[in-house]
Structure 1
């Protein structure tokens, strides 16, 4: 591939990656303002503003692979970006809560189109170590976009919660870049019988679901926790959200080196780091400690996210990458949607609920995950030694 063309394709893919994973959570710093404005709605219903887009991603992503094969990756990506602008910016002009939810639903549909295609294009344009490196960069772009958007969203929310929805306008840049720089991949022309996806694809996709259930505890609850305990304002909450999504930016850039350095223990270390971050937030009595916990949480998630994406990508041929990553995307956003349901249900087991409970529950789930991961690692090493001695 020509160097200039490769650079243009890289920029196009990364520009789209900036706006996908944290799409629903971009307005999370404005949650407190939204709950006051729509005071007739319960806190659980208000959280739909953040989680509803994730729910709509699921059915859309499941058919994206077939639609992309029929209409082309590039065309479908452009349609998704247009819907993203409508669904994102439309929230600012909503006359009531239910119209706002309608625009959030459109946003979810758009992400269901954009996410699998933009990530799947990595396998269609890049191969080997370059593809693995690109997955790290995609993760870095995912989280950098979330970080920047949440900082701006938190600052705009001081003026009005409506202003915070203006951040979605960044998708216009992605739309222009894709229109001029992204070609249709040649693999689209490779027609053939559809092959079933391997079990590893589904196993890794469930891993992504569990990761999102735990990780999404932070953007959903940090605003209510920080402002409810008097530790800061919506701007402070935006900074905390930015840190938890910004730390993975650096981790994603160095993903390949970190994987090589930690080897098979990388997943265990990452889960432990994420759990320590949740515990730190839950025990915080000042905003500095909250920021430290956000960094730790983001660092752990920042490794696990590209790890799972790369594992899914590596299980299939390039022509099947959009289908495989559509399954993963569905589980990713389903995890985001059910996160408050799961965490609130577990919180309900306690007779004295408090604002820090979601983070302590997330910490306990990380501890369970780390134990399972350690068990798998030990089992693999034992099996390897048995094979050598056999």
Structure 2
């Protein structure tokens, strides 16, 4: 029981580390009036650039030191990088603390997912992957809601949400069993080429999901302000609705998988499309909130589905490397989200957050249709063979 709690506790602070203070972006921009909007948006995404190399550093460190020791070191850096932003005298110091935050998440993230396969397998592993995803979302719900309320008083207070890592440090130190150091194998198997192709395909899928999903924490506060949909205090409740949907999605993943079977992924992408459509085309607080919730439900089930696929196609000795590759693309998607979406929007006209959400809606709906066609074609082919 306590082992499970310690695994889930680490998951609370990883994926949404950058987005935790997204409700405070408007107040931070006011606090640094000379900073461009692009630099302010980087507060949410700059950490991802540093996560990328340190996921591989984390993978290498597991061949030298116990995973528990690496987790504890990463948690210390997490507190320093996260809470350190509260003391930033300028935007560049703030971005430097986000880099340190990224380094810490790079150390934590691959272990927080691969450790599930160390202790669980079969149906229990799928269930635990869903709970890990749900824990990711709980972290987002709590941190963004708290940051929104704190930012209404002073944007610097919003960074205190990162202090939760102190309590997680205590839980991990006390309850997580210490695993032996992983042995590095240089053996090559006949299926290694196929394995690599599958992992890269799953990594690309994760990248695509996060490019679109991360438009919520990166653009939503600005979108709500531009169209007078809600005020700053409401941001802390509207934006985290994506994580509320993600939480329930993670908890219900096992049931969804049994119910939808081969249609699970197309339905997940369809939920994203419906959510983005409500955000882009209604522009009312209630319907935008429902859209964010539905989009989060799709993403919240899709992310652990990808992780479970990674654990299924990778053998145990390559698990850390596989997770590092997929999580590299996850954070690359976070970092590239505003850059790619802004440039795609520029191809269709003047860049605006409304246009970005419209493009996201069309892309997800078209993707869902193509996935449905692919599943039906595969079923038809299998029935012909049999």
Sort the TM-score into its range (normalised by shorter chain): over 0.9
- Give the Å deviation of 1:308: 0.6
Q: Structure 1 stretches of 5 or more lacking a match?
A: 1-6
Q: For residue 316 of structure 1, what is the aligned residue in structure 2?
A: 314
Q: For residue 281 of structure 2, what is the aligned residue in structure 1?
A: 283
**Residues 139, 306 of structure 1: 8 Å contact kept:** yes
Aligned length: 381
**Residues 244, 295 of structure 1: 8 Å contact kept:** yes
Residue 127 (structure 1) aligned with residue 121 (structure 2) = yes
Q: For residue 164 of structure 1, what is the aligned residue in structure 2?
A: 158
Q: For residue 59 of structure 2, what is the aligned residue in structure 1?
A: 65
Mapped to 1, the partners of 2:339 and 2:187 lie a distance apart of 36
Aligned to 2:79, which of 85, 88, 112? 85
Mapped to 1, the partners of 2:321 and 2:347 lie a distance apart of 39
Per-residue CA shift, 1:22-43, capped at 9, x if unaligned? 1000010011111222221221
- Aligned to 1:70, the other structure's residue is in SS state coil
Pairwise CA RMSD of aligned residues?
Answer: 1.4
Q: Structure 2 stretches of 5 or more lacking a match?
A: none
TM-score if structure 1 supplies the norm length?
0.94
- Give the Å deviation of 1:190: 4.7
Mapped to 1, the partners of 2:22 and 2:43 lie a distance apart of 9
- Give the Å deviation of 1:166: 0.5
Per-residue CA shift, 1:317-358, capped at 9, x if unaligned? 233322211111100000010010111001112334443112
Mapped to 2, the partners of 1:259 and 1:328 lie a distance apart of 21
**Residues 151, 235 of structure 1: 8 Å contact kept:** no
**Residues 81, 98 of structure 2: 8 Å contact kept:** yes
Change (3 A) 1:255 1:45: same
Mapped to 1, the partners of 2:274 and 2:286 lie a distance apart of 15
Residue 13 (structure 1) aligned with residue 13 (structure 2) = no
Aligned to 2:186, which of 179, 189, 193? 193
**Residues 342, 351 of structure 2: 8 Å contact kept:** no
Mapped to 2, the partners of 1:148 and 1:105 lie a distance apart of 22
- Give the Å deviation of 1:194: 5.4
Aligned to 1:204, which of 202, 205, 210? 202
Residue 233 (structure 1) aligned with residue 227 (structure 2) = no
- Aligned to 2:240, the other structure's residue is in SS state helix
Mapped to 2, the partners of 1:285 and 1:272 lie a distance apart of 20
- Aligned to 2:34, the other structure's residue is in SS state coil
* 1:327-338 mapped onto 2 (5 Å cutoff): 327-338=325-336
TM-score if structure 2 supplies the norm length?
0.95
